[in-house]
Structure 1
């Protein structure tokens, strides 16, 4: 009986100590950075911007988050060369938590605070094995005008019904993206550039001097545009500028 009482007393003391300890423990709450809160969830929280010949990053509200100091920058996206690096310690820098930047002819990965966390080394670069994806649609030139065809359905250019978009533009270029059935298409008409879809719906109005045919749509769902032929900036699918 005495043994049972002692055992009960010990358990009570241990339980009381544990409860008292839990009462004094503070809960750790990870606060999100208000500067990185997304207004548009389909595009990155940080967007490259050029100012006075140097690149930095702004947030979706237009606030400068990473100062303009780089000669070139990329989006916060994966780098498959680092993800497949023979050096296991640097593979983490290949994730989309980091962006590639260049300064003084040196290439770095930076985090979202702008801190340079990795300096590129050729010995760290692995091989990328990205699968080739065939586009469903292609541009087609007829009588010096551009249209769109779907390869699997197109046989006779004399039959206008076989064209997805009958040739009517000065220029067309299908951008790479994740949605092969509904790609974004850079179009030019009357010396102005815009963006259309395969239904010939205008996505971005024809008000730009140029729209770059690069990977900004695939990587960030943004278009890189200019109105004066010199100063480029990004817009989203709703034509909001950044």
Structure 2
């Protein structure tokens, strides 16, 4: 009987030890807290102070010639891309590249790039002046036809130029049929997006200026020549000269750049 009591007592002691050890094993350990690291938000790129817009109607970068080489100035007249090219045109779309059979090339056809030429090689450059693409014939696609029928056209009467609207013009002997009665030495309608209100290069008293279809003078007659190119369509600017040699760009308010 004594042995049984001893055995029973031993079992109770052993059971107590086991229960106590389990209670200790399930005790929660303190959780370590790590300090949260602040996630930095990506800051927006700072605008280039050199690409400032003073006039919203004209491009940020404007082709400019110096010492027979072309570069690009900003609207304040500072050279941002140094003169080094034989040809430099406005930053504008190139439909041949936009429709390139090579999809990787098409981005270079957007208006974020400009076409330049140096040593008989044509490139596309970005606004930082970096050459990002060299033209290859195999990359050129076909431009989609975007021709807009002109609403007005020049008309010559007795050696003088005027403007008519062909859809309404009936009788050349009736001055009321003319949009602008022939009175200029020369007229040329500049290509642009607004065919109902085109800019018209005109010559009067051997000087060139710009008028609209209502015969309002936009650019005074003070230039020896105004080029009939795509400067108005691409950059809302006119390429002018007073001495017949040095050409530069002006905006529609006759401000020179």
TM-score by length of 1: 0.90
Residues 175-220 of structure 1 deviation map (CA, whole Å, 9 limit, x = unaligned) = 0011111100000001000000000000000000000000100011
Say which of 59, 76, 81 aligns to 1:44.
59
Question: C-alpha displacement at 1:132, in angstroms?
Answer: 2.3
The answer to whether 1:208 aligns with 2:216 is no
Map of 1:193 onto structure 2: 208
The answer to whether 1:102 aligns with 2:117 is yes
Say which of 199, 213, 224 aligns to 1:184.
199
The root-mean-square deviation of aligned C-alpha atoms, in Å, is: 1.6
3-state SS, counterpart of residue 67 of structure 1: strand
Question: C-alpha displacement at 1:131, in angstroms?
Answer: 2.6
Q: Distance in 2 between matches of 1:81 and 1:49?
A: 25
Q: Distance in 2 between matches of 1:91 and 1:27?
A: 29
Map of 2:245 onto structure 1: 230
Number of residue pairs the alignment of both structures matches: 227
Say which of 159, 169, 182 aligns to 2:184.
169
Q: Distance in 2 between matches of 1:156 and 1:52?
A: 52
Question: C-alpha displacement at 1:74, in angstroms?
Answer: 1.1
Q: Distance in 1 between matches of 2:219 and 2:241?
A: 13
Q: Distance in 2 between matches of 1:133 and 1:27?
A: 45
Q: Distance in 1 between matches of 2:154 and 2:41?
A: 62
Structure 2 gap segments, 5+ residues each: 1-30
Structure 1 gap segments, 5+ residues each: 1-9
The answer to whether 1:145 aligns with 2:160 is yes
Map of 1:113 onto structure 2: 128
Bigger radius of gyration among the two = 2
Higher alpha-carbon deviation: 128-137 or 211-220: 128-137
Residues 105-156 of structure 1 deviation map (CA, whole Å, 9 limit, x = unaligned) = 1111100000011111111111111232111101111111111101111100
Question: C-alpha displacement at 1:26, in angstroms?
Answer: 3.9
Runs of 4+ in 1 over 6 A off after TM superposition: none
Q: Distance in 1 between matches of 2:39 and 2:173?
A: 81
The correspondence of residues 7-18 of structure 1 with structure 2, limited to 5 A, is none
Question: C-alpha displacement at 1:24, in angstroms?
Answer: 4.1
Q: Distance in 1 between matches of 2:148 and 2:40?
A: 53
Question: C-alpha displacement at 1:28, in angstroms?
Answer: 1.1
3-state SS, counterpart of residue 167 of structure 2: helix
Residues 63-108 of structure 1 deviation map (CA, whole Å, 9 limit, x = unaligned) = 0000000010111000111111111111111111110111111111
Question: C-alpha displacement at 1:27, in angstroms?
Answer: 4.0
The answer to whether 1:87 aligns with 2:107 is no
The correspondence of residues 123-138 of structure 1 with structure 2, limited to 5 A, is 123-138=138-153
